[in-house]
Amino acid sequence: MRHLLIVVILLSIAMTTKAQFQIDGEYRPRFEFRDGYAQLKPDNSSPAYFVSQRTRLNLSHTYNNLYSRISVQDYRVWGDSKLKSDDPGLSVFEAYFKLKLSDSWALTAGRQRLNFDNNRLFSQANWHQISSSHDGLTVDFKKELFNFRMVTAFNQSATPKFGTNYTVDNYKFLNVIWLEKKFKYFSLANLTITDSYQKKNSRNTDYYRFTIGLVAKYKRNSYDLQLRGFYQTGKNKMGTDVNAHFINAIASYKFGSALNLTLGTEYMSGNDFTNHNGEDNAFDILYGARHWFNGIMDYFSIPKTTLGTGLIDGYLKLDFLKIESWKLSAHYHYLATSNTYVHNGKEQDNFLANELDLIGTWKINKVVGLQLGYAMLFAGETLENMNGGSKSSGLQQFFYTAITVKPTFFKN
């Protein structure tokens, strides 16, 4: 009753002023069939299958130069609570306001989703049913073909009277700067990310890590070319010196309005098991999307999934853009370590696996969408030694289907 009263008051305010007010939602149940997902299945294992669901209620309000938003969400696996249960499940996904200071400047404060570039190093991680959001302050400047964005966050787990002490396994300090200049067919951007972690069992020692790089894009007619290069230095959360790099090259060609062909490669540096130099050479994708980039079976989402030996991903993607209201995709990935892995005293081959992903997206109407995905992975011996399970246990496969419903309940 109390929540209903709050909604009625907000509606009354919205309808008696010049403000714009909207209440919308999202329902996203997803069925998954896992038979070798993220880990090679052992002999005589049985598949896992379940349904998870994300439910969100969003309130958006605009008045003059002020925009504000609140988004609460519930995540659950169907059946994880008793039928008669009062288990708490709601959390705040977004709670922020954005103040437009002028035609060029804007300030955003509060809990917000953050996406930069192609989501590789910073993303809201939408595949994950909970997703990712950050408590911080964002400054935006946009003028003609120049964009500047800076995010700053400082985390604490309590309200101390003296000093600072962060006990949550998350960054303590974060600063992100995005600078982008656009030309007619070309754009050049710089992304700099600084994050720090507090040393365990210490209040006064923080380890700072720096990630800096360039993003170059060229798009003209049917051609789309992208090149990214990043360097990581400083110290990781364990206090080890970091010296790592990442390179990404993408070339796409669009055949009319029906087909898009993409060739690409990703290179993440890694540690050499035959040469322990005391550094951490494994590039960390930080707060980027863990899903999709290196195959939807999520074998190679973070450095520890290759035991820090890095990753090479060469891929070919075919995206059929318009088949009535469907979009169909077929993606192939060749996956290998970028450095030497040793198992039982023997150097292993760099080859890890081949993966084939088939994805279909159907836009049923403006409110309802459906997505289907099926993936197969063909592992090499190195992945078996690294990952566990058995590459000869049968086909490693993964299937999912997700329905997304986004209704608008009220809009004045």
Dihedral over Cα of 122, 127, 132, 137: its sign: positive
- What pairing do the DSSP bridges indicate for beta strands 326-336 and 346-347? unpaired
- Looking up tokens 């390179």, which residue turns up? 247
pLDDT score recorded for residue 299:
96
pLDDT at 412: 87
User: Following DSSP, what letter does each residue of 110-146 receive, concatenated?
Assistant: EEE----TTSSSB---TTSSS---EEEEEEEEEETTE
Query: CA separation (Å) from 216 to 182, 249, 292?
Result: 10, 10, 22
State the Cα torsion 272-274-280-283 to the nearest 10°. Answer: 10
Its domain, for residue 382, covers: 2-411
Q: What is the pLDDT of residue 137?
A: 98
- pLDDT at residue 4, as a whole number: 44
Distances (CA, A) of 304 to 34, 61, 265, 309, 343: 21, 42, 20, 8, 16
Q: What is the pLDDT of residues 378-406, one digit of tens each?
A: 999 999 999 889 988 889 999 999 999 99
Number of domains in the chain: 1
DSSP state of 86: -
Token pair for 382: 């190195």
Q: Give which of 282, 328, 278, 335 is closest to 304, Cα–Cα.
A: 282
Spatial CA neighbour of 177 closest among 140, 142, 226, 146: 140
Q: What is the CATH number of the domain that holds 118?
A: 2.40.160.100
pLDDT at 12: 54
How far CA 351 is from CA of 83, 126, 263, 312, in Å, comes to 48, 30, 19, 9
Q: Phi and psi dihedrals of 3, rounded to 5? A: -65, -40
Contact indicator for 138, 148 with CB cutoff of 8 Å: no
- Nearest C-alpha neighbor of 33 from the set 374, 348, 388, 411: 374
Percentage of the chain beyond pLDDT 70 is 96
pTM of the model: 0.92
76-to-136, 265, 402 alpha-carbon distances in Å? 27, 36, 14
- The confidence score (pLDDT) of residue 2 equals 47
Low-confidence spans in the chain with pLDDT less than 50 = 1-5, 8
| Residue pLDDT, tens place only, 318-339 | 999 777 789 999 999 999 999 9
